[in-house]
Structure 1
């Protein structure tokens, strides 16, 4: 969670107090937003507790997300929120017998475990599969989301996954394109191929052209074709 990677984070309770103050005294909105958006310890480092606390009151998360949307730096940023690929069930012609495949689903919790099992691969269950990557943290500190992604990649590696399936191209940009930087800050070699759900479905449909799949643009070679 947030404190694992930034012990100075002001905490969700402070953010909820800030939300309540803005609601009661909107004239103080700018001062409060400035206070909670400091680069070193601010709202940027919030990660959702939704998938980590049983019975979590999601209205708290809604209030924090509303605060995020009030901050000008976020309003002006062009950061895509990852989403799952809504795919038709593929006509599987390419199987993955003998492969161990992990998946990262983030807060969406849209699992592709059934697709992995249908491909005849072994599904690698990751305890961190539903982590929040805190995408807005990259506006002030690129290392924060790298630490989170590093934990996920190393968990996949240590559980003998052959590759990791992520939600979409924005996840591929982090887990694949930034993997060398992630490996440096984690202090370990990773070398984990990463593909999106869309690419996985294309593979199952029998596509093998690296350019069509987009694998020619990946930093970590997808060598199992």
Structure 2
């Protein structure tokens, strides 16, 4: 088996910009990603840690150097791009300056001992994997929230004091974005810990209390998704950016029967932080702006969503998006129920809701 590897390179003392070196590696005795790094290093030295717990990013996902080659190829294929866990903090190729990570631990300084500090050091992946850091470098970090949960579990007498400290942070737990699509083979119990802390801080509302129509009271009835397999309009020559919230066979079947091009963009995997939207809209607006503008810049004709909440977030908050980005946000948003009716030729029914959009797609 032969792998094509693009390896991130950057020396803060000599390079102005980072670059990538190409390596065509024929697998012999190598079993893990660390073995690959060691083999490349034997040919041409570079900065990394010869440790199976070394944190890396491969093809956009955060993982450990202990990840097997078999797992890598199964997930990504044979073309691999290897990056440090923080490109902006890279100093010597894959080795970064993690002072920001260590500094955030001071938040819990009154409650920790040396063992806790060691435990925190093992949570580095969760800190840098957070998409929130792309918008808010001062975010306390998911690692602090995870450690806070563990500290409370170990000693309940500290719970009130720890929660008080967390609540005092200006860019705290309400800025968390889900790590599920960011980390390879993600352990969902990690997310459960963070959500538990958010609940203790009263940041999460019940589903029935959530309101994503902050700037518009109009409720649109998108009707039901019809089980129609008849495709009268296959959307050939359309570029569609689909932001999926869940897996649904009916929706997948519809999309598979269309001739449209569906854009493959990393931003379509970003979490909108809907859990805490009613307490903090800022992070949701930041992420939604990124998704819409990336789709627009990649020539999408519209953004497709599969639930009402996502529609309201993307279509009803355009002024907020424009404020964050300094750009016009004009990409239309279409609900999958509307797409189904358009594809099956039910234009009159579809138009009843399309005309109520903030930006009418005028697709008919």
- Report the TM-score when normalising by structure 1: 0.85
**Do the aligned residues in 2 keep the contact of 1:165 with 1:197 (CA within 8 Å)?**
yes
Moved more, 38-47 or 15-24: 38-47
Unaligned runs of 5+ in 1: none
More helix by share: 1
State the 4+ residue runs in structure 1 displaced beyond 4 angstroms: 109-114, 210-213
Is 1:165 matched up with 2:296? Answer: no
Whether the aligned pair in 2 keeps the contact of 1:207 and 1:213 (CA below 8 Å) is no
**CA deviation profile, 1:33-67 (whole Å, cap 9, x unmatched):** 33323462111111122211212222211211222
Closer/same/farther in 2, CA of residues 115 and 180 from structure 1, 3 Å limit: farther
The correspondence of residues 130-169 of structure 1 with structure 2, limited to 5 A, is 130-169=269-308
2:156 to 9, 12, 26: 26
Farther off after superposition, 125-134 or 204-213: 204-213
Unpaired runs of 5+ in structure 2? 1-130, 213-223
1:194 corresponding residue in structure 2: 333
- Of 220, 223, 236, which residue of structure 2 is paired with 1:97? 236
1:79 aligns to 2:218 (yes or no) = no
- What is the root-mean-square deviation of aligned Cα atoms in Å? 2.7
Cα distance 1:203–1:42, how it changes in 2: closer, same or farther (>3 A)?
Answer: same
Task: Give the Cα separation in 2 of the matches to 1:23 and 1:147.
Answer: 33
Partner of 2:8: none
Write the mapping of 1:197-212 to structure 2, written as runs, cut at 5 A: 197-209=336-348
Tell me the TM-score normalized by structure 2: 0.54
Q: Which has the higher strand share?
A: 2
Q: Please say if 1:174 is aligned against 2:305.
A: no
- Report the count of equivalent residues: 221
**CA distance in structure 2 between the partners assigned to 1:198 and 1:223 by the alignment:** 16
Output the CA distance in 2 between the equivalents of 1:99 and 1:76. 38
Match of 2:354 in 1: 215
Q: State how far apart, in whole Å, the 2-side matches of 1:189 and 1:44 are.
A: 27
C-alpha distance in 1 between matches for 2:169 and 2:211: 21
Q: Distance in 2 between matches of 1:21 and 1:210?
A: 55
Distance 1:124 1:113 in 2: 15
Cα distance in structure 2, aligned partners of 1:76 and 1:210: 32
Contact (CA 8 Å) 2:341, 2:349: kept in 1 or not? no
Displacement of 1:19 in angstroms is 0.7
Report deviation, 1:213.
4.8
1:63 aligns with 2:188: no
How far apart, CA to CA, are the structure 2 residues paired with 1:137 and 1:65? 10
CA contact (8 A) 2:230 2:344 kept: yes
Q: Which residue of 1 aligns with 2:135?
A: 5
Task: Return closer, same or farther for 1:130/1:88 CA change in 2, 3 Å cut-off.
Answer: farther
